[in-house]
Structure 1
């Protein structure tokens, strides 16, 4: 495949990831209808406003474009009280048989499909949702998931649980609080239950005994966010980065980040929440729409049945954006749009229209990107599709137009903003992942599961290197970057955009980076044509000259029976090879111990041993080195086990 074709494929997948969607049909039809002359004229336009107006108004394409946009309508997975009632009854049946896994599965289906109170009064007086939540709470209490059970009991009361079940719900809440160590709240809940009517069937004797038996201090029920602390505090110049990092500029590299102090292995140099992030559509049923936590029991969206949340708090936080996206979720899926396109929309829906009106002047400036006319056309069409979703959602309020024929000035500028987002996100979005491990696997093997994408402005300043200096992992949608080999003052701090030398050949890396990010990598691994990890053996060892600052190296011969001292080709210093080999062998024993600790799941000690191994090897051994590369892989796996980590 020629480079131009490959570059087009890499670019197009950032717009539409599902070839079966209708968007690609629209784009190809517009391209064919417009003709070569119009496309050439379109490619010569100077700013995004001209591009948006051309695609919307030019006679060559307007009928096809407007005709398709006129069909944009609310399509989403709606609620169904009858379905929810049936699933709840099935869940209750399996609960009575103590088949709790099956019962929970059915209860989850019932909760997601149940409408808000009063929406369908013909089914259970419109109270199906509260009854479904109550049933699920009983199952969760039986499985000893007391925190989740408590949440469901609370929600059932919020959604108007029938009076005859309320006392029972408050007593069960008291039991949950007690099991969670929150004795004061347990007393309040039980007190409410006792004061309600028809409570003779409840026995509070056992509750009092349990209260007396449970010793220890009252638990608040809250915890820390689990985020690590930046090494030496936060930078005043670049928020979210360590104060030990500085930004530089050059004609070749543009903006880049360097260390302004020595940084040890494990130093946390970035803790950055996403400016904007979006869950992949295929993960809507398994992860929280807002924080990306894996779901065991989802809190439903009030309107649609296509997404869920891990808590009421996440549900509330999502209302700023999901209220605009919710009615069009199935349409967005049907369009085949990529998660990056969805991210471009989310960057608008997460803020009110008034927020963007202050930035209109910045949109009048020409963009810095100069993609091919076809690519610009397709991105402009996607921007118009996203704009039409916003128009039909009511996002623009009184400032929006009423029909398909005309766009208001603010609608045009938001269309320009969407187009700008589509240009920026394709280069700067990070894939957010979780780490999966099997319960029965004690080998340390894990799998990366990509579940979302996010935009991180500070971390986006870091340039690519095929042998990165940083490890990346996520806690929710917060990205954490840690040093995985010693860094010295003035050294560039880089991360990896995907192609890493251990897994990809030089040709594959260069081809991928040029097609996807429009640059040719000149990192040390590329200049030195380093072999892949599969081609390295433990016998491939390159020693460094012991003179500080010298770049001289020596490839240790495979046959080490007759080792001779070597003179550095850079500084002529004689190096005692036997001493260097003996030192490396002693370090290798630490590496082997670290691998054993990983198998034994001694994660913290494994991190300490591997960090020391990498630190000790740094002045002695030059990359590429198999053991050093694998040690850094182990560190990444260990660090990520404290983040978005899930045991299957």
Structure 2
């Protein structure tokens, strides 16, 4: 199979591919992989390896004694390496927080108290320092800071957790007294009174303290009610969800062609502003740079949580969670195996994509991972299971599910679940909960492992590096107890299967993963920029093909990816997104080089075919009008003093009055773009989105791109969309 990247720029392509595997040259992995490649080139073994079938490549590396001896020499030194708990450090941070509280620097105080919480060993750990209750004491101090910061609910959560972590009995009176303060601040006077009364029973004979407590009880205002928490409305696809692909709108469908593979096209008229996709990640990982500022599990900023404070991992101190729920979900799945090797994984220099490849295994566990391997790797099944297949139009579907009975049963379960949801009005979450966690992963894996890997276009050098990375990650899993419940005689086979699964993950992630971002805005300024905090693989979102002039804009709500239309589309038109190179910012040559070397394809979108100018070179006076014939997709350049007699494509006659009317409408659209810009300046974002969508639809009724003012308006609309997702506002001096 032809390799377009070798024709365009093979050296740059090799660099691009290496970065998806190992993004930090300071780590040990890059040097190790290069040395092993050099060894493999001897005796032409690498050439033979390149021609080996994919299903046999991992085994071929295992059977190469020279390579494995060199690799095992490195792997033998792997051992748990992570930032553990330290009672002394926790005590130092706690005392520093207390001192800082006296200086009334509460922001710094909270940071120190949170560090004390995260570094404290669990209460059951035997530690003479603080009598083994360092965590309880750290939580106690942080609850006081939170209360001073007028965050009573967060303080209350810390209080409850401190009691679970064996807060000393001598502090129980103060405990209930502070709990009363928390309930009072939270607008729950009845509970506050109960807590104060409990504190009074434990105070003993200190009359002065009892009088203070009585004053607190008398100060309770029973007319106060708890503040109403307004939940952020969930984002739903326009026109209802597809029966077999709930992440996708009914306005679109999946098509398939030999050269393009599967892609998304309009199934109905799509208007600007329509939500086309709301998809959850199959697997996602937070960038290590954000371990201290974001929840490891849900990726939300820890500072965004008013009613909760960062929660600790029971083993390591390098990460934080926004809640006990997120922490427990992480510990019950992936973090249990990744936690103890965090520093060695980061130190290896491996990319975030390599981490996601590992996460796809650790989140599933050994049993489910082996099941996924047997169904989608060894069986050569490269298709989507069940009813999803029925949505694909185009080339004949040659692939078949291993068990037709199993496929039908899965389809029936999925359809029954969806129908129950429609009938009862249940949320998607409630329906999903009917399926167990591992069943969801297994079901979604069918979509994930049908995504392209371009393995036939992959050079032996690149493939070998990915196998080496897989062996390294598998060894970490082995030493972390991932295979401990596997029967001894099956361990070697299980290790090879997991290695093959990770290798497949590394290949498909290269072309299908999405960077997850939050929109950072400067307070009291319009400007904003995306900040990439994580990477994920989205089973349905990965089906959207690239165009340099995309039809949708993407943003993120939590972990969910949202795709929303930035221009109208008619049935049959491709619903494309953008993988990075946009015609407004980069020339045709730059885009083609980037796409060929990073994604291994040559873009043939309209912006590339017609070689549209970048925004800086674009002329504001140039307007293309649509052909008068509703059946023709062609356009013509409009000049008031030079009007063509007929359409250059379909020969439909062009009337000068038609041209005049269209140009007047385009002019009105440009005026309305300016009105929308003023709305954005006034931070009236929702109103701006509504009006921009309406004006853009009007423009496309009369004209065609490229059109400078329209593209600027579309970029403004994209920024407005992002404002509805993950947003972080910081001060100018930050």
* Contact 2:311 2:327 (C-alpha < 8 Å) held by counterparts: yes
What corresponds to 2:210 in structure 1? Answer: 200
What is the alpha-carbon distance in structure 1 between the residues aligned to residue 475 and residue 39 of structure 2?
21
Q: Secondary structure of 2:254's partner? A: strand
* Contact 1:42 1:373 (C-alpha < 8 Å) held by counterparts: yes
Question: Per the alignment, do residues 542 and 169 of structure 1 end up closer, same or farther by CA in structure 2, a change over 3 Å counting?
Answer: farther
What corresponds to 2:429 in structure 1? Answer: none
What is the alpha-carbon distance in structure 1 between the residues aligned to residue 656 and residue 257 of structure 2?
37
What corresponds to 1:612 in structure 2? Answer: 694
Match of 2:105 among 99, 103, 118: 99
1:30 has 2:36 as partner: yes
Shift of 1:183: 5.6
Q: Secondary structure of 1:425's partner? A: helix
What is the alpha-carbon distance in structure 2 between the residues aligned to residue 233 and residue 119 of structure 1?
52
Match of 2:361 among 323, 348, 353: 348
Question: Per the alignment, do residues 27 and 202 of structure 1 end up closer, same or farther by CA in structure 2, a change over 3 Å counting?
Answer: farther
Alignment of 1:3-82 (within 5 A): 3-36=9-42, 37-48=44-55, 50-82=56-88
What is the alpha-carbon distance in structure 2 between the residues aligned to residue 566 and residue 211 of structure 1?
81
Question: Per the alignment, do residues 201 and 349 of structure 1 end up closer, same or farther by CA in structure 2, a change over 3 Å counting?
Answer: farther
What corresponds to 1:596 in structure 2? Answer: 678
| Coordinate RMSD, CA, aligned | 2.3
Question: Per the alignment, do residues 515 and 201 of structure 1 end up closer, same or farther by CA in structure 2, a change over 3 Å counting?
Answer: farther
* Contact 1:117 1:127 (C-alpha < 8 Å) held by counterparts: yes
Deviations 1:46-77 (A, max 9, x none): 134x3223323312212111111111110001
* Contact 2:237 2:248 (C-alpha < 8 Å) held by counterparts: yes
* Contact 1:567 1:575 (C-alpha < 8 Å) held by counterparts: no
TM-score (norm 1): 0.93
What is the alpha-carbon distance in structure 2 between the residues aligned to residue 341 and residue 96 of structure 1?
46
Question: Per the alignment, do residues 188 and 350 of structure 1 end up closer, same or farther by CA in structure 2, a change over 3 Å counting?
Answer: farther
Question: Per the alignment, do residues 410 and 528 of structure 1 end up closer, same or farther by CA in structure 2, a change over 3 Å counting?
Answer: same
Deviations 1:331-356 (A, max 9, x none): 00100000000000000111121212
What corresponds to 2:222 in structure 1? Answer: 212
What is the alpha-carbon distance in structure 1 between the residues aligned to residue 217 and residue 685 of structure 2?
40
What is the alpha-carbon distance in structure 2 between the residues aligned to residue 254 and residue 581 of structure 1?
39
- Worse-superposed segment, 12-21 or 105-114: 105-114
Deviations 1:27-62 (A, max 9, x none): 1111122334121122122134x3223323312212
Segments of 5+ residues of structure 1 without an aligned counterpart are none
Alignment of 1:236-635 (within 5 A): 236-296=243-303, 297-319=309-331, 320-362=333-375, 363-365=377-379, 369-370=455-456, 371-399=458-486, 408-441=492-525, 444-557=526-639, 567-570=646-649, 571-576=652-657, 577-635=659-717
Alignment of 1:629-644 (within 5 A): 629-644=711-726
Segments of 5+ residues of structure 2 without an aligned counterpart are 1-5, 304-308, 381-452
What is the alpha-carbon distance in structure 2 between the residues aligned to residue 469 and residue 170 of structure 1?
58
What is the alpha-carbon distance in structure 2 between the residues aligned to residue 621 and residue 287 of structure 1?
45
What is the alpha-carbon distance in structure 2 between the residues aligned to residue 544 and residue 200 of structure 1?
83
Deviations 1:387-407 (A, max 9, x none): 0011011011132769xxx96
Question: Per the alignment, do residues 150 and 539 of structure 1 end up closer, same or farther by CA in structure 2, a change over 3 Å counting?
Answer: farther
Question: Per the alignment, do residues 185 and 356 of structure 1 end up closer, same or farther by CA in structure 2, a change over 3 Å counting?
Answer: farther
Shift of 1:302: 1.1
Shift of 1:554: 3.2
What is the alpha-carbon distance in structure 2 between the residues aligned to residue 613 and residue 191 of structure 1?
63
- Worse-superposed segment, 635-644 or 180-189: 180-189
What corresponds to 2:398 in structure 1? Answer: none
What is the alpha-carbon distance in structure 2 between the residues aligned to residue 191 and residue 372 of structure 1?
74
Shift of 1:201: 6.2
1:161 has 2:167 as partner: yes
Question: Per the alignment, do residues 264 and 166 of structure 1 end up closer, same or farther by CA in structure 2, a change over 3 Å counting?
Answer: farther
TM-score (norm 2): 0.82
What is the alpha-carbon distance in structure 2 between the residues aligned to residue 233 and residue 299 of structure 1?
37
Deviations 1:233-267 (A, max 9, x none): 21113231112221111223221111211122211
- Worse-superposed segment, 197-206 or 57-66: 197-206
What is the alpha-carbon distance in structure 2 between the residues aligned to residue 298 and residue 54 of structure 1?
46
- Worse-superposed segment, 367-376 or 58-67: 367-376
Q: Secondary structure of 2:40's partner? A: helix
* Contact 2:286 2:533 (C-alpha < 8 Å) held by counterparts: yes
What is the alpha-carbon distance in structure 1 between the residues aligned to residue 512 and residue 454 of structure 2?
14
What is the alpha-carbon distance in structure 2 between the residues aligned to residue 344 and residue 401 of structure 1?
26
What is the alpha-carbon distance in structure 1 between the residues aligned to residue 729 and residue 299 of structure 2?
16
* Contact 2:54 2:455 (C-alpha < 8 Å) held by counterparts: no
* Contact 2:83 2:318 (C-alpha < 8 Å) held by counterparts: yes
Shift of 1:642: 1.9
Question: Per the alignment, do residues 79 and 4 of structure 1 end up closer, same or farther by CA in structure 2, a change over 3 Å counting?
Answer: same
Q: Secondary structure of 1:535's partner? A: coil
Question: Per the alignment, do residues 59 and 156 of structure 1 end up closer, same or farther by CA in structure 2, a change over 3 Å counting?
Answer: same
- Worse-superposed segment, 543-552 or 610-619: 543-552
* Contact 1:275 1:457 (C-alpha < 8 Å) held by counterparts: yes
What is the alpha-carbon distance in structure 1 between the residues aligned to residue 721 and residue 514 of structure 2?
18
Shift of 1:191: 5.6
Equivalenced residue count is: 636
- Worse-superposed segment, 300-309 or 366-375: 366-375
* Contact 2:277 2:541 (C-alpha < 8 Å) held by counterparts: yes
Question: Per the alignment, do residues 74 and 401 of structure 1 end up closer, same or farther by CA in structure 2, a change over 3 Å counting?
Answer: farther
* Contact 1:78 1:304 (C-alpha < 8 Å) held by counterparts: yes
Question: Per the alignment, do residues 425 and 95 of structure 1 end up closer, same or farther by CA in structure 2, a change over 3 Å counting?
Answer: same
